[in-house]
Amino acid sequence: MTYQVDNLQMIIFFDSVITNHLEEDELKWISQKKEKIEGNLNLSSFYIAFSTASRSIRKKPLLLSGQELKQANNLRSGFYPENWDQLHWVRSYFLLILANHKREAYENGLIKLFETATMEEQVSLYGTLPILPYPNFLVKLAIEGIRTNITTVFDAIALNNPFPTEFLPQAAWNQMVLKAVFMQRPLYRIYNADERANSDLSRMLIDFAHERWAAHRWVSPELWRFVAPFMDDNSFSDIEKTVNTGASLEKKAALLACASSNNKKADKLLAQYPEIRKDIDAGRITWTMIGQQQENKIKS
């Protein structure tokens, strides 16, 4: 695959968003820089434009209209840039312009940007992954990014981003989910995560839960989501333990895992909790709801 999106269409979309939301002096600065980085590309002017954006662009939230958000997602499914600030938009816009140049310049430029990025620039770089060309080249950058310990940077890759689900090899994907659990990140924000559930991941998550229990620490209720499709008698005993000893949210999550597994013992266990089963069947207990409640609990 070469393109994840039509680059020119995306540039036009970014043009319209930026024109709609930024102020006159900012637009003037952008158009001056744009002249320098379109046409004949001099990489060092590009680096300067990218890294000095914070001097001319205000770092304030950019609130997309519903129409704009819909358009973003039409251009690239799974692309929801609703939490990007203005500076992020401008940096990503420059990246799209870079991507319009010859492949070699684009790849070398991008590598250098990743190598020298500030914490905030890293967030912008990883946030732009789903709309940049040559995803196979981007994969190694994403894998390196997952090794970060900076939460905002990790979140930019792992959460609300379709790139990892679609392109990461399984081992890297599993590391990302495991690390998200370890860092207490909200798993329900991982885009289409269920598509990539696998038995290896399930085993690692169960081992992780055992370690946590041995140290008398709590285990995220979201974890059982990825165990459910591979539930065997061994993992069932962990689910059963959670149902019997967990707090209300943990119990609901473990029973939701039962509902989405094919294990007979799990069916029987669920049958003992008709009220919860009713809520599950009616869509009142979902992984999103459990994730949101857990996220609020961690925050409060």
Q: Which residues bind another protein (CB under 8 A)?
A: 44, 47-48, 51-52, 54-55, 59, 87, 112, 115-122, 149-152, 179, 182-184, 212, 215-217, 298-299
Residue with smaller CB distance to another protein, 36 or 179: 179
Residue with smaller CB distance to another protein, 142 or 243: 142
Do residues 73 and 79 touch, judged by C-beta distance below 8 A?
Answer: yes
Q: Supply 94's token pair.
A: 């420059």
Q: How far, in Å, are 5, 22, 47, 123, 269 from residue 91 at the CA level?
A: 18, 13, 11, 10, 52
- Least Å from the CB of residue 8 to another protein: 28
- Least Å from the CB of residue 54 to another protein: 4
Among residues 119, 90, 113, 91, which one has the least CA distance to residue 43? 113
H or E element, residue 119: helix 119-127
- Least Å from the CB of residue 211 to another protein: 9
- Least Å from the CB of residue 43 to another protein: 11
- Least Å from the CB of residue 27 to another protein: 18
Residue with smaller CB distance to another protein, 99 or 146: 146
Provide the H-helix boundaries in 183-286. 199-214, 224-227, 233-245, 248-259, 264-271, 274-281
Residue with smaller CB distance to another protein, 33 or 225: 33
Residue with smaller CB distance to another protein, 133 or 186: 186
Q: How far, in Å, are 50, 73, 76 from residue 14 at the CA level?
A: 16, 13, 13
